[in-house]
Homo-oligomer: A and B are copies of this chain.
């Protein structure tokens, strides 16, 4: 049964059980040297080590595993050129159901290949949002597949919430959790897990300056979509979803925006000291943490390293 309202505590616990065999319980790493440099003890939740290389596997798995038998039979569909596409493809493969992924003709060959390797059918379209949505509509009409939205979907939010739930269980005394905001799926889930499982640990949103719609929406009290995002953090260029914004509005502690330069420096530190490969979007929460490090001097904070799918030929250093 698909969720019709904001996930409750039980919904997240159920999601965790449901996706248990589909995802990794990712490790939490810390670096003594990095902590000494920053003066803050930072615990990194390594979702770059998650299946498909990003937290997206949690939400996609939960949404797919919540479908009815009749729905499962007809398969799932989505439009994405990013980590969500791979996550839907892999979760569908593990569930032995068809997946239809609408991708722009100009999507990087490596991403198309990754989706195909998981056995999904790729349907090309023009690269405008309109073309994507129309093509998806056609696919759904023709196949009867269920559309799995990348973030504006309560089952996806419940799945993403399991990430912060695990981090809270595997650490002690966190004074704050830093998580990214793109469409708001991971952020909404993180906020809910903080409320339900984390004694309301303050959650700080991290956003690129060049895609700061969440910051502006939060200040304005209404969704202000991002028209022309311009940031190296390609995973965070999307605008907030309707189901995500109210959760963010109610619970978020603060939103800290960072420049591309700050994102690149955070990436560099993660490569250097944690020896982990992280994509630009995955380094945004750490960049926000560094920018606000005086707030938590001498304390412990959690930072979600949300993804590691970076094109090695285009590393910014």
Contacts and interface: CB of A to CB of B under 8 A. Distances in A.
A308 B275 contact: yes
A281 to B, nearest CB: 14
Nearest to A46: B275
Given A27-B27, A33-B117, A117-B33, A275 B313 contact: no
A277 interface: yes
Contacts of A277: 271-272, 275-277
Given A313-B317, A317-B312, A275 B272 contact: no
A51 B31 CA distance: 9
A56 interface: no
Contacts of A276: 275-277
A271 B48 contact: no
Contacts of A308: 275
Interface of A is mostly: helix
A53 interface: yes
A51 B29 CA distance: 12
A275 B312 contact: no
A275 B29 contact: no
A315 interface: yes
Contacts of A58: none
A32 B27 CA distance: 17
A117 to B, nearest CB: 7
B117 A268 contact: no
A272 B33 contact: no
Contacts of A42: none
23 contacts: A27-B27, A29-B49, A32-B51, A33-B117, A48-B275, A49-B275, A53-B275, A268-B312, A271-B277, A271-B312, A272-B277, A272-B312, A275-B276, A275-B277, A275-B278, A275-B308, A276-B276, A276-B277, A277-B277, A312-B315, A312-B317, A313-B317, A315-B315
